[in-house]
Each structure stands twice: as structure tokens, then as C-alpha cells.
Amino acid sequence: MKILAIETSCDETGIAIYDDQQGLLANQLYSQIDLHADYGGVVPELASRDHIRKTVPLIKAALQEAGLSSQNIDAVAYTAGPGLIGALLVGASIGRSLAYAWQVPAIEVHHMEGHLLAPMLEENPPKFPFVALLVSGGHTQLIKVTEIGHYELLGESIDDAAGEAFDKTAKLLGLDYPGGAKLSRLARFGDPNRFRFPRPMTDRPGLDFSFSGLKTFAANTIHQHLPLNEQTKADIARAFEDALVDTLVIKSKRALEQTGYKRLVIAGGVSANTVLRQKLGEMIHKIHGQIHYPRVEFCTDNGAMIAYAGMVRLKAQQATDLAINVKPRWPLNELTNC
């Protein structure tokens, strides 16, 4: 079976075609970074309009890449949430309409389940059960995963998520949008011993995260050292990244201890961070566990992860009716089991 998937939850338009026997056949992606850069963040209305312009041409490009026509497609999957409501409606409307026109099932996909299952696209996919650390955009979550569709939320961000804290701190340092990756590159040149930032909520029980205070600590440090020279910027970036990464590592280890699992999956945009991968890898090595993550291009939003999750839901016969429903807020633990 072949499924065509549409991802339009935020500022990337992703289209992919996945075959349950041959794997990924096509993967098209368009990023709106340049569109939103002048505003220092995503403008929802502009994002929606750009998805309208790009989705259909990318669908045609994906079919051409795979050497297929609409007659070869057995189902259409689309991101139904969570995300920006206008952007979601673009993908849902096009996806549901194509499914109706092609007389194939339409599959609603949860964006975070797509991220969670992205490592399944790799040659050595993780086996169940495992703990998943999802660090994507406005989400930082620890999930106990016993099998596909069986998710238990262990902890999440109660204010700023990791990705938001990265971007906001980068903006405070005067870095261009999107700043998270730029802050990480700048941190490579920082002195690890000049500043030490707090590791929020690691001195108390529980698995929830809070990064707004860390961002405020960075803002105060910046204010105390104005005007900033380039070395001070790098030193602050290093201290911030070290604190955030250490917090994620500490909470991930705690989640593994709590569940008794030895297998960790990390996914989402921040999972591409090399320092995070290195420190999580060191922690997993010490406990003789396993760590899995998607390749870098599948860490950020993409159609491939939606295609895989859609195929799983298709095989579970979870097609939707003709109604076009999107869910800007959609807790992962509300998903039905497969």
C-alpha cells in the first residue's frame, strides 16, 4: 500500500509518499524561514497563505519523484493537530478533498505522534517499549511508550518549551530568526567555565520542565554585561545550552529509572542538537541502554514522519469521515490505540 502525506502544522510544507513494503518513495519539503525572518517569528496568517501556494505543487513533485500517479495512491494522510489552526486547515482541506476525489481513505495524523515515530524510518528502528523525549517547537515531553498508540505522559513543559527557550534566548543575544541553531553554533566558541546557569526543576521530584526562568536568567546575565562583545555572547550561549541540555538529560535519566526501561528515543527539532545527542549518548552508555533518533532532516517538521504514522493508522483502519476537523490543541494521550 502507498500513502501520500501532507504536513502543514506550522512553517514547513512537507509532502511524502510511503510504501509499506518499499519504504519512503518521495519526500518534498519547503521551509518558510525566509518568509518569517523579517518578523522574528512565525506569522500565522502568512504561514497559512504560503501553505496554500506550496502544497499542491509539492504534491505533484512528490508524485513525479516517486514515478506514480494518483491512481497508485491507496490513502491520504494529513496533520490534523496540534499546530496553527489556519495552517492545519490548509493541509486538512487539501488532504480530505484529494482522498474524496481519488476515492481512497483519509487519515488524520497527530503531529507529535509523527515525531515520536520518525525513528521508525531508520534502518535500526527502536523496539517497544521505550521512553520518548519529544522536543519540538512548543513541546517538551517525556512519554512512556509501550506500543504504537499506547502513550503515557510522564512530564512536560509547564511554560516555555526547550525550543522556545532556545529561540527566545537567541533573540536576546541579537541572533537572527530562527535563532536556536545559531545559538548552538555560537556556543561552540564559548568558555564553559565563565558562567553557570541553573538547571531548572532538577532539584525536586517529578518529570515536568520549566525553561522560562532559564531564559530570564540569561536575559539578566546579558543585561549585566552590556554592551556585549562576541566572546561574551558565545560564553552566555554556551552556559545556556549546557544548562538546558543537562536538564533534558537529567529528566530523561529519571524517566528511564522510573519506568525501568533502558531504551530512549529522542525526536523533534531540538533532537538535532549535537550537544544533546552527545550527552544523552553518554548517559545511555553508562546505564548500558540504547538510544534512537531520526536523521537530522527528519527531526524538524516533514511529510515522511506523517506518512509513516498515517500508514500505521491506515492499517488499524482508522480512516476519517468526510468532515474536515483540525485540533490546534490535541494531547497525545487522547489518541486511540492501534
111 is in an annotated binding site: yes
* Residue 172 assigned as binding residue: no
* 134 carries a ligand binding annotation: yes
Is residue 180 a known part of a binding site? yes
The answer to whether the CB of 4 falls within 8 A of the CB of 15 is yes
Q: Please list the alpha-helical segments (H only) found in 103-229.
A: 111-117, 162-172, 179-187, 212-224
User: Is 51 labelled as part of a ligand binding site?
Assistant: no
Give the burial class of 77: count Cβ atoms within 10 A of its Cβ; 0-12 exposed, 13-18 middle, 19 or more buried: buried
Annotated binding residue at 138? yes
> Any residues with CB less than 8 A from the CB of 73 and at least 6 apart, and which?
2, 3, 4, 17, 102, 104
Q: What is the bridge-based pairing of β-strands 12-19 and 23-31?
A: antiparallel
* Rounded Cα distance, 163 and 85, in Å: 20
| Nearest CA among 166, 159, 161 for reference residue 181 | 166
- Does 203 carry a binding-site annotation? no
Core vs surface per residue 130-166: b (16+ CB within 10 A) or e: bbbbbbbbebbbbbbbeebbebeebbbbeebbbbbbb
State how far the Cα of 12 lies from the Cα of 47, in Å rounded to an integer.
Answer: 8
Residue 38 labeled ligand binder: no
Determine if residue 273 is labeled as part of a ligand binding site: yes
Write the DSSP symbol of residue 61: H
Distance CA 297, CA 336 (A): 28
Q: In angstroms, how far apart are the furthest CA atoms of the chain?
A: 63
- Is 67 annotated as contributing to ligand binding? no
Q: Which residues are annotated as a binding site?
A: 111, 115, 134-138, 167, 180, 273, 301
Q: Which residues are annotated as a binding site for Fe cation?
A: 111, 115, 301
Q: Which residues are annotated as a binding site for substrate?
A: 134-138, 167, 180, 273
